[in-house]
Amino acid sequence: MPNVLLLHGGAGSDNSYTEALNRYANSTSSKKSMDPLDFVVEAVRLMEDDPSFNAGTGSVKRIDGSIQMDAAVMANSQIGSVSAIERVKNPVLVAREVMLQTPHVMITGDGAVKLARALGFSDYDPTTERTETIWKKMVAFFNGRDVELPERYSQYYRYAKIFGFPQQKDTVGAVARVGGKFAAAVSTGGSSPMMRGRVGDSPLPGAGLYAGENGAVVATGIGEEIIRKMMCYDIYTKIGTEPLHEILKNKVEEFGEVLVGAIAVSKDEFASYSNSSMATGESTWP
């Protein structure tokens, strides 16, 4: 089967981002490598550097005004993950180093920042004008009304309308099949509104991503609900039982109106599905 790299720009991203994602996929697939990890990390790095996406540069701010990001990679039965990491340009690169250079699976908060500095990742402020505007709008809303944060996100869509969640976009991710092997990578600035220290699905193996000998899966959407259903591992265990697109569709539809999506590759297929708009990009090569 041909090699394939599949990207997504987040549940809620519109098709206007497809051109950029295809460009990133094609530029990444030109790399001289047979390691699928190289492809997914490079693709996610490119999306982190694009301020249009809520990952790396352009990540949304938390209620306290800070930016804390999550990222993870998975390949060859190994996992590297960072959560609530601050002031780095490319969290996905730090996540890869957690996998390759430490005995750990996940490093969080200030520990992740200290590791990044020790590995030579310089201080970087990912704030953009767009994310500053979103944060100021959120602060003005909370200061102007006597409201509580949504419990278990049951009122998420009421807040989404206020904060423009669909335009804000969500997790970015990539899956790859190269030389018959698989890898997955994800990165996100989280969702808005969110408390400092909140961790979503992205850095959690089985929830936000999963890769094994049969394929790779990445999720996007409302992280709390994705975690509760262990979305990616559940999809992975069903690979081969029916067409891959049907597996994704059936799983996404379990969430009802909760915003979610997924991309996946198997030994002979690749597919994407979301219950909202979701920009994707792809590249295949011999």
- Mark whether 171 is an active-site residue: yes
Number of domains in the chain: 1
Cβ contact 262:251 at 8 Å = yes
Sheet containing 209-212: order of strands: 209-212, 215-221, 260-266, 270-274
- pTM for this prediction: 0.90
| pLDDT surpasses 60 at 249 | yes
Q: Select which of 171, 188, 220, 280 is catalytic.
A: 171
Domain that holds residue 55: 3-285
Task: Determine contact, residues 72/204, Cβ cutoff 8 Å.
Answer: yes
In tens, the pLDDT along 76-97 reads 989 999 999 999 999 999 999 9
**Residue 274 sits in a domain of what CATH number?**
3.60.20.30
Q: Give the integer Cα–Cα distance in Å for 211 and 79.
A: 9
Q: Which amino acid is at 27?
A: S
Distance of CA 282 to the CA centre of its chain: 16
Question: Which tens digits make up the pLDDT trace of 161-205?
Answer: 444 443 445 689 999 999 999 999 999 998 777 788 999 999 999
Indicate the helix (H) or strand (E) that contains 247.
helix 244-253
Please provide the DSSP assignment of 77-97 as one string: TEEEEEEEE-S-S-HHHHHHH
Q: Phi, psi at residue 243, to the nearest 5°?
A: -50, 140
Burial of 100 (0-12, 13-18, 19+ CB in 10 A): exposed
